[in-house]
Amino acid sequence: MTHQRVELRNQVSKHDINGEQGITGSPAAAIRAFAPRAMLAALWVLAMTTGVASAQTITNVKVNKDNSDTGVLGGVVKMDIGKKYNGALVINDSAGTYPWKITGKGFGSTAGTATLNAKTVPISSWSDTSITMDLSTKDLNSKAPLDFSSDYTQDLKVKTKAGKAATKSVWWVPAVEGRIFGQCTWWVAKNRKAAKLSVPPYRSYTALSTSWRPARLQGLKWGTANHNALVDAAEALKDGKGKLTGAYKITISEYNGKNANAYYQYAATGNPSKGEYPGASYKDSDKANGYAP
């Protein structure tokens, strides 16, 4: 278009009606001479004012809903403890928790489509410079939305109603009930929800007492660091005569116990009827003080 503008401008300049060549002769000749010159001038003005249509461009993608409790600030993951995934976007297992906002230009005023890793995701609002998507892991795997257990770098593609497309690579992590992958709460939520058990509210575990007995898939809580973990197995121990001692060997699994966003499993032994509760992996003297039945 730039070359065309220059060419049109040159032609108009050469045939300027007020220039050296002018218009001479009969009125009919003047009209014949003026018409093409006027047309060239009009075309040049049109080219200058219309220009090239804006290219479709994605400039930024952010989570459009911060949550300081779960660790989403400024539109991305931002954790004080376990920082491996800081800066990533988040997709929850159900919609409404972490919608994404795409900013850019050239999207058009009529909604088109958006895909993540070639999977179509729902659009909640669309303008020429902004798109909001209320996506969930169900949109990416409707049969197994809880199966996402890693971080992912995938292509986000926006396609306008006119068929033009823009693509941007995005880094994201999954979440279950708002609990973000790599954190201790995510591990408990994922496993309990998969077993159709309730996901314990933040900091609202039942207090441990001497009547507590460990069982598989219970959530455990340590107060000092507010850490959560999961009971994988609980074995009631017996003495040499086969009599129950009241003690248990508990196998515990967790994420981010040592602030590295990593999975870890360990065993603890104690007699809860005597107030012997399992210690934390990071500090055995920090004893569990709550559980989710």
Side chain identity at 293, as an amino acid letter?
P
Q: What confidence category does residue 203 fall into, taking pLDDT thresholds of 50, 70 and 90? A: confident
Residue-wise pLDDT for 174-197, tens only, equals 999 999 999 999 999 999 999 999
What's the rounded Cα separation, in Å, for the pair 111 and 113? 7
- Contact between 37 and 72 under an 8 Å Cβ cutoff? The reply is no
What's the rounded Cα separation, in Å, for the pair 252 and 268? 8
Q: What confidence category does residue 213 fall into, taking pLDDT thresholds of 50, 70 and 90? A: very high
- Contact between 256 and 81 under an 8 Å Cβ cutoff? The reply is yes
What's the rounded Cα separation, in Å, for the pair 88 and 144? 22
Residue-wise pLDDT for 76-96, tens only, equals 999 999 999 999 999 999 999
Q: Extract the tokens encoding 138.
A: 């169900």
Q: What confidence category does residue 223 fall into, taking pLDDT thresholds of 50, 70 and 90? A: confident
What class is the 57-178 domain?
mainly beta
- For residues 25 and 254, which has the higher predicted lDDT (pLDDT)? 254
- For residues 154 and 47, which has the higher predicted lDDT (pLDDT)? 154
State the pLDDT at residue 225: 67
Reply yes or no on whether the pLDDT at 5 is more than 60.
no
State the pLDDT at residue 52: 41
- For residues 290 and 54, which has the higher predicted lDDT (pLDDT)? 290
State the pLDDT at residue 287: 95
Q: What confidence category does residue 226 fall into, taking pLDDT thresholds of 50, 70 and 90? A: confident
- Contact between 69 and 245 under an 8 Å Cβ cutoff? The reply is no
Q: Which residues contact 53 (CB under 8 A, 6 or more apart)?
A: 106
Q: What confidence category does residue 212 fall into, taking pLDDT thresholds of 50, 70 and 90? A: very high
Mean model confidence pLDDT for the chain: 86
State the pLDDT at residue 198: 94
Helix, strand, or coil (residue 193): helix
pTM of the model: 0.80
What single string gives the DSSP state of each residue in 209-264?
A: -TT----TT-EEEETTTTEEEEEEEEEEEE-TTS-EEEEEEEEEEEESTTSSS-EE
Query: In the chain, how many H helices and how many E strands?
Result: 4, 18
Residue-wise pLDDT for 96-136, tens only, equals 999 999 999 999 999 999 999 999 999 999 999 999 999 99
What's the rounded Cα separation, in Å, for the pair 141 and 122? 14
Torsion of CA 124, 122, 68, 255, to 10 degrees: 180
Average pLDDT over residues 266-275: 97
State the pLDDT at residue 204: 82
Q: What confidence category does residue 55 fall into, taking pLDDT thresholds of 50, 70 and 90? A: confident
Average pLDDT over residues 38-49: 49
State the pLDDT at residue 3: 43
